[in-house]
Structure 1
């Protein structure tokens, strides 16, 4: 397990459970106890690794009977996911998030490998001769355009 931090291990554990189930419901405190971490560490993993950009829909309920429900988004069946992706992009898109969206589209079957590589080339940091702020704005505009085309094509 060399090179893996606790967040990686928690992510791997949750993804292994998700591989056998369409969705999972977890309790923050139970997972925290399993890995001997504070519940906020579980929040961190959920908030950074199980995002809509990465192809997951997360719902949580706080309180005594609270839970976190994680499900793999089915992009082919749920056009609302594309709308959520578009909303989540906003006015700027980092290279990391752009690559995550492309990976999600590919793994979800909305684009093939060739299309993924073309989109990755367009969102690459070297595709623009501009400062980072302007690059992120242009990347967001391009990705929103791609997602809109996918939404209306399906």
Structure 2
């Protein structure tokens, strides 16, 4: 049996999000942390005093992680048309997603503050949407939601 290809098994919306939209978003996030980490920290925490140059290495690490995400999605997933590989990478990325969302809650002062969505600004909503939508798509891929079932076809068949 030939492995199921991601290009035939996954809906176009899943593939567009993970191959194009999220990698662009990840590169944008990395550039924000590299160019102006103080502004990034102020936006994500709602506290302009949180950034210190002594913590710059953390922002560099975060930017590097986002570049790895962008590479895995824009390059690896694009070149490997095997649903099993997509599922494995999505599983690993889900681990990162969970940690990222916990850190987002910590950044604003905990669940009590985070849960007051009426106080969110445009940046908060953009961060939430740009992280949750791809995370849900990865979860759907891992769980098989919306994934076409059937035997894969080889190239040229």
Interval containing the TM-score (normalised by the shorter chain):
under 0.3
Which of the two has greater strand per residue? 1
After TM superposition, the score normalised by the length of structure 1 is 0.28
Q: Whose RCO is larger (CA < 8 A, sep 6+)?
A: 2
After TM superposition, the score normalised by the length of structure 2 is 0.27
Which of the two has greater helix per residue? 2
